[in-house]
Structure 1
Amino acid sequence: MAPVDPHSYTEGSHPFIAKADLAFYLDFAASTIHASALLTLSAPHSGDLLLDTRTLTVHSASTTSDPPAPIPLSLADAADPVLGSALTLTLPPDSTSFLLTFSTSPAASALQWLSPPQTASAVPFLFSQGHPIHARSIFPCHDTPAARITYSLLLNIPAQLSAVAAARHVSRRDPLTSDHRGACDDVLWCATGRIVEEFEMEQSVPPYLFAFAAGGIGFRDLGPRTRVYAEGGDKVLDEAAREFAGVEEMVKVGEELFGPYEWERFDLLVLPPSFPYAGMENPRMVFLTPTAIKGDASGAQLVAHELAHSWSGNLITNKTNEDFWLNEGFTTYAERRIVEVVQGEERAALNMGIGWRSLNRTMESFKDNMEFTKLKPKMGGIDPDDVYSKVPYEKGFQFLWRIERQIGRPAFDEFVKKYISTFKFQSIDTETFLEFLKANVTGIENQIDLQLWIEGTGIPPDAMEPDSAIYKKICSLAAEFKSGKLPSEDDVADWNGQEWELYLENLPTDVEASQVTALDERYKLSESRDYDIKVAFLQLAIPTGCRCYFNEIEKCLKQVGRMKYLRPLYRSLAQCSREEKMLAQRIFSEAQEFYHPIARSVAQSILSKHG
């Protein structure tokens, strides 16, 4: 027997969990969930069954017979730093389901508990983040994208709070009417001042897409199947509704390009600033960073990426994290196709240009470990969070764009639609994709070196830099910066965040402090409300020794926990002089309780690596 995934204890010869019926009592005072899970297998099984866990306390396991019988269990004492601890259950003959009771740890890597002073609404808040292998810290499961589950969820929360989940909302009702299946004792579950929110997810998803949040959450409707949720009151909701007003149109464009939208609703939840990602594509309820609200509707492009996941990633999922490009390369391609229709070809070209620059920088950052510049790297023993990069996104995009250029867009569109309809609600590996490609595009293996693209390191020679007038102009202006020439007021008159980000990404890294401050004096980039601009500028400034920006760097690292910003700022500080290193250590020590556990771990790893 062998694990099905290098990041899971799941045995390939055993049946997967097919359905999880979960009951969660959210104990905000203890930052703990007391829970039960009725788990149903895809086929009968006898004997040992291994599940993934991380920092969970498992109280009991029992059969679903009447009366229930205890099931022997053992939880590994020594946790693997990447995999966590294997939970081994010894099931009776031909078992199809069983019941577990357990509690999460305050240190659960998937959960962030925010106290009232840490929230805009001054009430407690909790959100989950299961990607890539953190669902195991919420409930015992086969925490691999190779497994797909349906689920129901009961959330017992304080009555003044509201809850959302990546599932259909069924009801909000009194705890007395809710069967909690032993999640906690009856007195606790049915305590006064509590309410139960019930959710049902009837389409199968990989466990990392299990998601929920609870807090002072309100909403605004955007369209017949789109709504934006947020905590923080009317001001935040109004800003979010304006920023994402065009989402319903994007869903329609996605359907025209890629086929039916299979998830019924496309709702958005704007999370507190500590959310570690730009967005998380949880079906039916996308989680978003508040930094996506830019005030000019350009944040909708981030939503386009999460929407594109509705077809690539959610509908068809990478089988393991070694095949992650199947999620993100396809989604980046699909995002740009949606943006091209909704916002125009020039906007899509800018997006591609930023991606091209980011890909080249990523290749440079992996020069000492080129394995992770492959589309399909070997990741046994590697924490996916430690090697997260733009390679699967941008090299994956380049691969698909290369195929499109070879066979033409009409033929590629037909191929993509057939691919989606063939593999929807399945998890596949790279080899399956390549077999399907060769079977449906005759002779493609003789026209493109598929093996070089998948297994080769670096950027293949037939990748292509985007070509557009505005992209070339911005790159040309960036090249002139070295000689001291700044862009004129006329040059930047129509620029928004993306143009500035592309300009800053293309500036030479060996510039003088005086040039950096001159640019900032003219355009106030260090004070920008758009964090993509602000962080790109601060990242440029740090190596020049411009200590006048220390205050802005500190504010940024303490106000926003998005890893797109934490990674480059902490890395830049840690690679500089002793003073910058000490600044980074002090800021982290003061800000770490604000960060989500995933972001905290990543920042700590960067600081440890650079001493």
Structure 2
Amino acid sequence: MARSFAPDPHSFARPNEIAVRHLSLDLTADFDARRLAGRATLDLDVSSPDAGTLVLDTWQLAISAVTDGHGSDLRWELGEHDPILGQPLTIEVGSVSRVVVHYATTDDARALQWLEPEQTASGKQFLFTQNQPILGRSWIPCQDSPGVRASYDAVLRVPSDLLAVMSATNPTERAHDGVYRFAMDTRVPAYLVALAVGDLEFRALGERAGVYAEPSVVDAAAWEFADTEKMMEAAERLYGPYRWGRYDLLVLPPSFPYGGMENPRLTFATPTLLAGDRSLVTVVAHELAHSWSGNLVTNSTWNDIWLNEGFTVYFETRIDEELFGADYAAMILRLGRQELEHWLAVEKPRDTWLELDLTDPDEGPSKIPYEKGSLFLRTIEAAVGRERFDAFLRGYFERFAFESMDTETFLSYLRAELLEPAGITDEDLQVDAWVRGPGVPDNEPHFTSDAFDRVDAEVTAFLSGRPAAELATGDWVSQQWVHFIRALPDDLPFERFDDADATFGLSRSGNIENATAWLEKVIDAGYLFERPDVDAAMADFLTRHGRALYIKKVYLKLAATDRGLGRAREVYARARPGYHPVAQLTLDKILG
């Protein structure tokens, strides 16, 4: 039976007529020219007997020819360039079931970041891709919609002193000739096709897990992520078997714009997770959870991203609870609620719905689909009970495995399989207010945390005049430090900020979450502008890190005042070349 695809406002493709079912890439990576060149072979499923035209998404690709599988030329045309969607590639296929596009990427391939040796830990060149949400079309002619899934294989030629890996079967040793072959037999959307090339080594973390990183980083990464196999086992106990074979991680250079990217079989991870105390590995739990919510059951369009991210935040905290206990999970939930409150205050009301209406997905949603989505699922759990809700989610992942999901289909399934059997109505749960309403409805659950209560007691003591050195902070974890910093009032006397910073080293913290919270606080308080050493630490932070969410937070705080905006632009002028195009796109707009 032919698959049915939801309309996607962010793709030119017409998969209900002709859909790509398999992609074969044969590419050479030219680091000097900063170009991938070769061909993409696409095997097609024809759903409509009258369809004779295949439409692909592209972005500034240099296309030299389009042929059928036997090498005969096909008629093709590139449409006008749209500043958000790129160009449609229209190919007259007739009855042909295989199409070959001969092409090369250009300087405007926004999914690709080519790093010079000085930008890497090993002093060698590096390349990595970031397709999500609609950047895959800038290096692969594809149907670039999360609702369209295709299996793929690839042959990649790279310099012989580098290792290539993909979101597929992977080598653990370098090929002497620099030629690598990959296969992903499971159908995945284009945004989950990923590639990296660099001076990489591999360390095993267990029978099913391992980590790749540059030689000077790999052992630290293996220590930091040692509990990955335990996370996999905890996730499987909750929601069923892991369906992707291996779960490996790749630690990228600092310009990687995300905490992690859930590419199947190979999560891409930021080096900011290597805090040296395993305090930030909840990000690994998040990316692992995507192996169910996102990779297994995928949002049909980017307007439904809460079905990926809200579910994944919920699942992540359940993994955290399994491994580290309920109080640890409660801290994550409390911080998430604080994060949600921040974004509710700065976003337009329509942008606080769960079902979004995105103009440009590449600008990225705020944390609202993540945190409000998770909170909605917690509300459902509270209404029906955890045991019943867990059974529902296990059934959901099994029923819709390797399929796409839109908001209305999910809500219909929720009603039929969970709410109605439990005697609960939409009105009882305020479903419409959660999904298609601004803010947070008043039936949200609340979370208590003994660990945060202890922090609050120390905050009170500090505000009463107790020196920072006398506070009981010796056993605090990262989440407690963030809570402490956020709890400090903006009008705190500057000498008290001095005391906290001198005692705890917050301005130059190696923990990106602590450092970001501190910089946000001291910018709001005006303290940063009166302390050159803190200002220098801020500039160093924004220059060293490329993780978009965190640097965006700091730039937004700076941009809120004329004085701060001027300083932000000074720093950005130096830092911008080291940022990924995803981060540049967002920050260019913030800073004008």
TM-score by length of 2: 0.94
Q: What is the match of residue 71 of structure 1?
A: 74
Q: What is the match of residue 353 of structure 1?
A: 334
Deviation at 1:55, TM superposition (A): 1.8
Residues 1:221 and 2:204 aligned together: yes
Partner SS for 1:95: coil
Q: How far apart in 2 are the matches of 1:605 and 1:156? A: 37
Deviates more, 1:596-605 or 1:413-422: 596-605
**1:174-210: CA deviation from partner (whole Å, max 9, x where unpaired):** 8xxxxxxxxxxxxxxxxxx852111000111111010
Deviation at 1:76, TM superposition (A): 2.1
Partner SS for 1:168: coil
Q: How far apart in 2 are the matches of 1:482 and 1:328? A: 37
Deviation at 1:522, TM superposition (A): 2.6
Deviation at 1:577, TM superposition (A): 3.1
Q: How far apart in 1 are the matches of 2:577 and 2:187? A: 34
Q: How does 1:392-407 map to 2 (within 5 A)?
A: 392-407=369-384
Q: How far apart in 1 are the matches of 2:365 and 2:103? A: 31
Deviates more, 1:475-484 or 1:406-415: 475-484
Please tell me whether the aligned partners of residues 10 and 145 of structure 2 are also in contact (alpha carbons under 8 angstroms): yes
Q: How far apart in 2 are the matches of 1:196 and 1:172? A: 12
Deviates more, 1:415-424 or 1:499-508: 499-508
Q: How far apart in 2 are the matches of 1:109 and 1:253? A: 36
Residues 1:27 and 2:30 aligned together: yes
Q: What is the match of residue 9 of structure 1?
A: 12
Q: What is the match of residue 261 of structure 2?
A: 280
Q: What is the match of residue 55 of structure 1?
A: 60
- Return closer, same or farther for 1:420/1:489 CA change in 2, 3 Å cut-off: farther
Query: Equivalent pairs: percent with the same residue?
Result: 39
Q: What is the match of residue 241 of structure 1?
A: 222
Please tell me whether the aligned partners of residues 39 and 99 of structure 1 are also in contact (alpha carbons under 8 angstroms): yes
Q: How does 1:568-607 map to 2 (within 5 A)?
A: 568-578=553-563, 580-607=564-591
**1:63-86: CA deviation from partner (whole Å, max 9, x where unpaired):** 113xx3211111123x22211111
Residues 1:567 and 2:552 aligned together: yes
**1:21 is matched by which residue type in structure 2?**
S
Q: What is the match of residue 555 of structure 1?
A: 540
**1:372 is matched by which residue type in structure 2?**
D
Q: How does 1:49-448 map to 2 (within 5 A)?
A: 49-65=54-70, 68-77=71-80, 79-92=81-94, 94-169=95-170, 194-231=177-214, 233=215, 235-366=216-347, 369-379=348-358, 382-441=359-418, 442=420, 443-445=423-425, 446-448=427-429
**1:408 is matched by which residue type in structure 2?**
G
Please tell me whether the aligned partners of residues 26 and 33 of structure 1 are also in contact (alpha carbons under 8 angstroms): yes
- Return closer, same or farther for 1:511/1:467 CA change in 2, 3 Å cut-off: same
Please tell me whether the aligned partners of residues 167 and 264 of structure 2 are also in contact (alpha carbons under 8 angstroms): yes
Deviation at 1:13, TM superposition (A): 3.3
Q: How far apart in 1 are the matches of 2:52 and 2:456? A: 62
**2:123 is matched by which residue type in structure 1?**
A
Please tell me whether the aligned partners of residues 37 and 105 of structure 2 are also in contact (alpha carbons under 8 angstroms): yes
Partner SS for 1:158: coil
- Return closer, same or farther for 1:488/1:351 CA change in 2, 3 Å cut-off: farther
Q: How far apart in 2 are the matches of 1:98 and 1:335? A: 40
Pairs aligned (count): 579
**1:442-491: CA deviation from partner (whole Å, max 9, x where unpaired):** 23325312111110100111112311222334356557766666766443
**1:160 is matched by which residue type in structure 2?**
D
Deviation at 1:123, TM superposition (A): 1.2
Unpaired segments ≥5 residues, structure 2: none
Deviation at 1:391, TM superposition (A): 0.6
- Return closer, same or farther for 1:494/1:444 CA change in 2, 3 Å cut-off: same
Deviation at 1:301, TM superposition (A): 1.3
Deviation at 1:508, TM superposition (A): 3.7
**2:11 is matched by which residue type in structure 1?**
S
- Return closer, same or farther for 1:170/1:163 CA change in 2, 3 Å cut-off: closer
Deviation at 1:43, TM superposition (A): 2.3
- Return closer, same or farther for 1:213/1:460 CA change in 2, 3 Å cut-off: same
**1:88-118: CA deviation from partner (whole Å, max 9, x where unpaired):** 11222x2222100111112211110001121
**1:1-40: CA deviation from partner (whole Å, max 9, x where unpaired):** x982111112253222111000111010011110201101
Q: How far apart in 2 are the matches of 1:407 and 1:220? A: 43
Deviation at 1:603, TM superposition (A): 1.4
Q: How far apart in 2 are the matches of 1:161 and 1:297? A: 29
Deviation at 1:519, TM superposition (A): 2.0
Deviation at 1:173, TM superposition (A): 9.4
Deviation at 1:605, TM superposition (A): 1.3
Partner SS for 1:392: helix
Q: How far apart in 2 are the matches of 1:512 and 1:494? A: 27
- Return closer, same or farther for 1:75/1:486 CA change in 2, 3 Å cut-off: farther
Q: How far apart in 2 are the matches of 1:555 and 1:172? A: 35
Q: How far apart in 2 are the matches of 1:99 and 1:475? A: 62
Please tell me whether the aligned partners of residues 4 and 10 of structure 1 are also in contact (alpha carbons under 8 angstroms): no
Q: How far apart in 2 are the matches of 1:80 and 1:489? A: 60
Q: How far apart in 2 are the matches of 1:480 and 1:576? A: 32
Deviation at 1:527, TM superposition (A): 1.9
Please tell me whether the aligned partners of residues 468 and 503 of structure 2 are also in contact (alpha carbons under 8 angstroms): no
Q: How far apart in 2 are the matches of 1:140 and 1:526? A: 45
Deviates more, 1:419-428 or 1:387-396: 387-396
- Return closer, same or farther for 1:482/1:105 CA change in 2, 3 Å cut-off: farther
Alpha-carbon RMSD? 2.1
TM-score by length of 1: 0.91
Partner SS for 2:253: coil
Partner SS for 2:170: strand
**1:509-546: CA deviation from partner (whole Å, max 9, x where unpaired):** 45454443332123221121111111110111113332
Q: How far apart in 2 are the matches of 1:154 and 1:124? A: 20
Q: What is the match of residue 442 of structure 2?
A: 461
Unpaired segments ≥5 residues, structure 1: 175-192
Q: How far apart in 2 are the matches of 1:478 and 1:605? A: 37
Q: How far apart in 2 are the matches of 1:486 and 1:359? A: 32
Q: How far apart in 2 are the matches of 1:194 and 1:592? A: 35
Deviation at 1:257, TM superposition (A): 0.5
Partner SS for 2:246: coil
Partner SS for 2:99: strand
Deviates more, 1:79-88 or 1:263-272: 79-88
Q: How far apart in 2 are the matches of 1:480 and 1:383? A: 47
